[in-house]
Structure 1
Amino acid sequence: MTKKNLNLHDKTEQTESVKRKIQHRIASNGNIFKKIESLHDIITQIDATKTREDIFNVFKSGSRWLFDYDICLISLLNNAKTHYSVNVISNLNTLEEINHKHFPVEEGMIGWVVKKQAVFIGSIGSIPIDGKKIENILKESGIRHLIVVPMKTGSEVIGALTLATIHNKAYNDTDALFAQLLAFAVGTSLKNNEAFEDARKRITQIELINEVSRQMASMLQLDQLLNGAAVTIQKTFNYFDVTIFIITDDGHELELVAHSGNFIDFLPHGYRQNINQGIVGWVARSGEKILCNDVSQDLRYLAYEYHSTKSELATPIKIDGRVIGVLNVEDTKLHAFDDTDAVVLETLSHLPINKPL
């Protein structure tokens, strides 16, 4: 074979090599095109949803076309952006310990992604942060590799999407890009859904306030009024526990005069508390409401034995501008109450003023 033929042969081999690379790239792109089509279909379905549960269900059924994962989490920030709650989208049985639980925004890879607004791709053992409760649980489940991307609506971060697998080095930059696109679609729908739910919640609560007021108007005796108010408020608004305290004549104590809910066995009727103690004591003295969505962080909170309170909302009951008692609700969940609940409770605390005390 002549030198010219050798050069031609080498060039032919080089050409074939380039062709194979191009063909491989085309095949790879074909897979990407299919993913883009699947992504479009999923987003279209998400846009048509009406509730948060629908959004999660569409995501769960559709995301499998885009990603190979064993565990998927959607974590959402609270309004104060101090904590995030974890929603387990897959493998709930093994992750019940973290499902619907709240974690400080400083904790874990999810918190890091939310604060930095950055993407993390890596092995479960390479996470360079403290506070790894979620990560440790994932590791115990056999997880080896994961993607965590921020969930945004425009410039606002509302949470994070986590995809995790038992395989090593399973995700790449393309997966991260698709995860971000899907997270944006989910985040936008959740935000729009939240606005709709907030509006519906306000309308519903106005209707419920009217119903509570109507029932209380038919109660003639003071004891009947107070007990009826506690029961009606607790059941109508589905609050975990409702108590009504009245300031004693000497002004030194608060007496429990009505109670409805899950702590009723622990605080008997007639229980008295020093007015200088607890959140209800502070409200009675100051005449101002308290909305505390994490009582462990409030030094004013007075812990009762056997109580598992995490959130508390208390408003003063006034007559002619003078505080005569406190309407108090509690829940075992962190961040159980919002400003709408506060307005509702303040409204309800004014309902008995037409009754003689």
Structure 2
Amino acid sequence: MLLVTITLYITIISPAGFLVAGPELVIYAVPITAAGLLLTPAAAIAWAMIVTLAILIRAFVVAGMPGITINPIALALSLIVLYVLALATWLFARSLQQANQDLRRRIGQIQTGAEISRVVTAALEPGLIQWPAVQLIQSGFGYYHVGFYAPDPEGRWAVLTEAAGEAAERLRQEGYRLPLDGTTVVAAAFTQRARQMIVVGEEEPIGPDGHPLQPNVHLLPQSRAELALPLQVGERLLGVLDVHSTRPGPFPEEEIEALEGIVGQVAVALENAHLFEDLQQRHQELQELHQQTERRARYLEATAELARAVSSLLDLQTLLDQAVNLISERFGFYHAGIFLVDDAGEWAVLQAANSEGGQRMLARGHKLRVGEQGIVGWVTHAGESRIALDVGEDAVHFDNPDLPDTRSEVALPLKVRDRVIGALDIQSTREAAFSEEDVVVLQTLADQIAVAIENARLFQETQRALEEVQTLHRYYLAQEWEQFTRQRRDLSAEYRRLGVPPLERAWSPEMEIALAQERAVVLSDLEAELLGGDGRGENGGDGAGDRFTLPARSALAVPIKLRGEVVGVLDLQATEEPRRWT
């Protein structure tokens, strides 16, 4: 409205003949310049045409007024000058507009760089760095397509890990990748570790193999220029940022420098993220190592405790019961059981178990056929350990209703030399509860249990054989001693102060007790027990010819044994003072 008002004022309200022709016509450049600067550069040309039309109309109107003369040549020259000023205004306004756009774009790029810096420095995962970076670069710089390529572990391919813009989602879903030995701009940036740029329609740069580089535009048909910038920290190449633009011509140098600054920030953030991942992985490995060490320490402690326990036990059933209870308590297993193969080698019979279900199985005589039923049957037949990390997926596992909570199972053979005598069966309520390291340690426990079982069996067999030999020996010894006593009559003697005459009287009470109980017997105060308390015998004799007339005060009777059999008794009596026998 301001421009219209100025134009109308200059054209209509001014006095007749004023500024119709001559150099004064330049004042009409004021609205033209204002239009070019305040509206658009093209508005200067358009407003020049409007002013020209207004001037021509005014010239036509005032031409018929008396006393007014219009010089056509001067008018034409003035209009030419007017159009020259309009053209200069258009050029100046366009340059000013372009500079303003460049300034705004530069400010936007700086803001984008600052936003990317803020985002990537706060992220500690590569995925949380790459995705916002490509999104912000694509939107902040207005590019057609932005992608991030990372090398694969073998170093053969550049794999697209994140992308934004045209065809980004489709390329990610397809797992798009480029060969590193190819002629693409991305491959050249990887191999030469330097920025690479190609403009469609211009001379193609030469790659490291001597062949011209090819733009990666078969999936991006509107791309007119491609720029690849390597992300490098020190000597480590982390990837390449690939940028496509629809603007013809090369990327501006200041824009490339801004992108290189952003790429450097992203590279440092990715390196920090990788270092953080490595740190987390090492921390996790240390935790796992610590857990393995603790578990190994528990295993060793349980192994030592089991070794101490089984080495001191010779009763087979007690040994088996203590073994399963110890394994279950130390390692927190749901069920532990020991099977022994019968003499025929057909059945693995459950002999000990710690769980309630195992006790019910023991009560009903649970057994599994060797080589046919369950993991225990397989192990007792093959002589090798077997793990079922998920019992629902293991075809060999025996689905036992007494153990409904079992999720994983391991069975280990009990072997003595090359002979399988049974199996140690352990079950857990957790899936994948057993590792190969667990199997190694548990097999050591199983080997100790097998040796202890064999020792207990050998001890029991030895004890039975020894008892049989001792019984037979006592039988023959009793027979021989009985025959010997029938043939000899002088089988007793008594020591007195006057000599050692034969003992012809009956045995004393303490001798009878020692003979009957087969142990040493001590009797005190025999004077009261045997002489009625006055030193005389029970019949009141003077003791001549009567053994019990001695004033005995105490006695010790010790059985005489020959290879476990009592063949006599040694009787000692104290007659003067009471005696304490030691």
User: Do the aligned partners of residues 118 and 17 (structure 1) sit closer, same or farther apart at CA in structure 2, a change above 3 Å counting?
Assistant: closer
Partner of 2:94: 10
Task: Look up the equivalent residue of 1:303 and give its one-letter code.
Answer: D
Task: Look up the equivalent residue of 2:369 and give its one-letter code.
Answer: N
How far does the alpha carbon of each residue in 1:253-296 deviate from its partner, in whole angstroms, 9 at most, with x for none? 11111112474366344312222211100111111111232333
Match of 1:206, SS state, is: helix
Task: Look up the equivalent residue of 2:368 and give its one-letter code.
Answer: Q
Runs of 5+ unmatched residues, structure 1 = 44-62, 69-116, 129-173
Q: What is the alpha-carbon root mean square deviation over aligned residues?
A: 4.0
Match of 2:304, SS state, is: helix
**Higher alpha-carbon Rg:** 2
2:324 counterpart of 1:230? yes
User: Do the aligned partners of residues 22 and 207 (structure 1) sit closer, same or farther apart at CA in structure 2, a change above 3 Å counting?
Assistant: farther
How far does the alpha carbon of each residue in 1:5-45 deviate from its partner, in whole angstroms, 9 at most, with x for none? 333323333333333333333333323333444347x99xx
Partner of 1:356: 456
Matches of 2:429 and 2:418 in 1, distance apart?
A: 32
Q: Of the candidates 358, 366, 379, which is equivalent to residue 271 of structure 1?
A: 366
CA contact (8 A) 2:353 2:359 kept: no
Match of 1:250, SS state, is: coil
2:389 counterpart of 1:293? yes
How far does the alpha carbon of each residue in 1:110-169 deviate from its partner, in whole angstroms, 9 at most, with x for none? xxxxxxx9969999xx999xxxxxxxxxxxxxxxxxxxxxxxxxxxxxxxxxxxxxxxxx
Task: Look up the equivalent residue of 1:300 and give its one-letter code.
Answer: V
Matches of 2:173 and 2:335 in 1, distance apart?
A: 40
Higher relative contact order (CA 8 A, sep 6+): 1
Matches of 2:114 and 2:369 in 1, distance apart?
A: 72
Q: Of the candidates 189, 201, 204, which is equivalent to residue 295 of structure 2?
A: 201
Partner of 1:21: 105
2:300 counterpart of 1:216? no
CA contact (8 A) 1:245 1:255 kept: yes
Q: How does 1:312-331 map to 2 (within 5 A)?
A: 312-331=409-428
Partner of 2:492: none
User: Do the aligned partners of residues 11 and 237 (structure 1) sit closer, same or farther apart at CA in structure 2, a change above 3 Å counting?
Assistant: same
User: Do the aligned partners of residues 187 and 254 (structure 1) sit closer, same or farther apart at CA in structure 2, a change above 3 Å counting?
Assistant: same
Matches of 1:37 and 1:308 in 2, distance apart?
A: 48
Matches of 2:278 and 2:439 in 1, distance apart?
A: 31
User: Do the aligned partners of residues 242 and 64 (structure 1) sit closer, same or farther apart at CA in structure 2, a change above 3 Å counting?
Assistant: farther
Matches of 1:263 and 1:26 in 2, distance apart?
A: 72
Partner of 1:247: 341
Matches of 2:298 and 2:162 in 1, distance apart?
A: 41
CA contact (8 A) 1:287 1:316 kept: yes
Matches of 1:24 and 1:262 in 2, distance apart?
A: 73
User: Do the aligned partners of residues 216 and 26 (structure 1) sit closer, same or farther apart at CA in structure 2, a change above 3 Å counting?
Assistant: farther
How far does the alpha carbon of each residue in 1:207-238 deviate from its partner, in whole angstroms, 9 at most, with x for none? 33213322333434221111111011011022
User: Do the aligned partners of residues 297 and 221 (structure 1) sit closer, same or farther apart at CA in structure 2, a change above 3 Å counting?
Assistant: same
Task: Look up the equivalent residue of 1:290 and give its one-letter code.
Answer: R
Match of 1:330, SS state, is: strand
User: Do the aligned partners of residues 245 and 5 (structure 1) sit closer, same or farther apart at CA in structure 2, a change above 3 Å counting?
Assistant: same
CA contact (8 A) 2:409 2:426 kept: yes
How far does the alpha carbon of each residue in 1:276-320 deviate from its partner, in whole angstroms, 9 at most, with x for none? 211100111111111232333332222123624332211111224
User: Do the aligned partners of residues 287 and 5 (structure 1) sit closer, same or farther apart at CA in structure 2, a change above 3 Å counting?
Assistant: same
User: Do the aligned partners of residues 6 and 207 (structure 1) sit closer, same or farther apart at CA in structure 2, a change above 3 Å counting?
Assistant: farther
Match of 2:354, SS state, is: strand
CA contact (8 A) 1:240 1:331 kept: yes
Matches of 1:192 and 1:8 in 2, distance apart?
A: 69
Identical aligned pairs, as a percentage?
24
Match of 2:110, SS state, is: helix
Partner of 1:86: none
User: Do the aligned partners of residues 38 and 243 (structure 1) sit closer, same or farther apart at CA in structure 2, a change above 3 Å counting?
Assistant: same
Matches of 1:339 and 1:66 in 2, distance apart?
A: 39
Q: How does 1:114-133 map to 2 (within 5 A)?
A: none
Matches of 1:296 and 1:356 in 2, distance apart?
A: 37
Q: CA shift at 1:348, angstroms?
A: 0.6
How far does the alpha carbon of each residue in 1:153-205 deviate from its partner, in whole angstroms, 9 at most, with x for none? xxxxxxxxxxxxxxxxxxxxx8xx79974656544542443344334433442
Task: Look up the equivalent residue of 1:356 and give its one-letter code.
Answer: A
Q: How does 1:119-158 map to 2 (within 5 A)?
A: none
User: Do the aligned partners of residues 219 and 189 (structure 1) sit closer, same or farther apart at CA in structure 2, a change above 3 Å counting?
Assistant: same
User: Do the aligned partners of residues 118 and 9 (structure 1) sit closer, same or farther apart at CA in structure 2, a change above 3 Å counting?
Assistant: closer
Q: CA shift at 1:248, angstroms?
A: 1.9
Equivalent pairs, count: 241
User: Do the aligned partners of residues 64 and 333 (structure 1) sit closer, same or farther apart at CA in structure 2, a change above 3 Å counting?
Assistant: same
Task: Look up the equivalent residue of 1:272 and give its one-letter code.
Answer: K
Matches of 1:118 and 1:307 in 2, distance apart?
A: 49
Matches of 1:118 and 1:255 in 2, distance apart?
A: 61
Partner of 2:441: 344
Runs of 5+ unmatched residues, structure 2 = 1-32, 34-85, 133-158, 175-265, 458-582
Matches of 1:337 and 1:315 in 2, distance apart?
A: 12
User: Do the aligned partners of residues 30 and 328 (structure 1) sit closer, same or farther apart at CA in structure 2, a change above 3 Å counting?
Assistant: same
Matches of 2:375 and 2:160 in 1, distance apart?
A: 39
Match of 1:33, SS state, is: helix
Q: Of the candidates 422, 427, 430, which is equivalent to residue 333 of structure 1?
A: 430
User: Do the aligned partners of residues 118 and 22 (structure 1) sit closer, same or farther apart at CA in structure 2, a change above 3 Å counting?
Assistant: closer
Matches of 2:286 and 2:87 in 1, distance apart?
A: 71
User: Do the aligned partners of residues 220 and 324 (structure 1) sit closer, same or farther apart at CA in structure 2, a change above 3 Å counting?
Assistant: same
CA contact (8 A) 1:39 1:66 kept: no
If each structure's strand is expressed as a fraction of its own residues, which one has the higher value?
A: 1
Q: How does 1:24-103 map to 2 (within 5 A)?
A: 24-39=108-123
Q: CA shift at 1:327, angstroms?
A: 0.2
Task: Look up the equivalent residue of 1:239 and give its one-letter code.
Answer: F
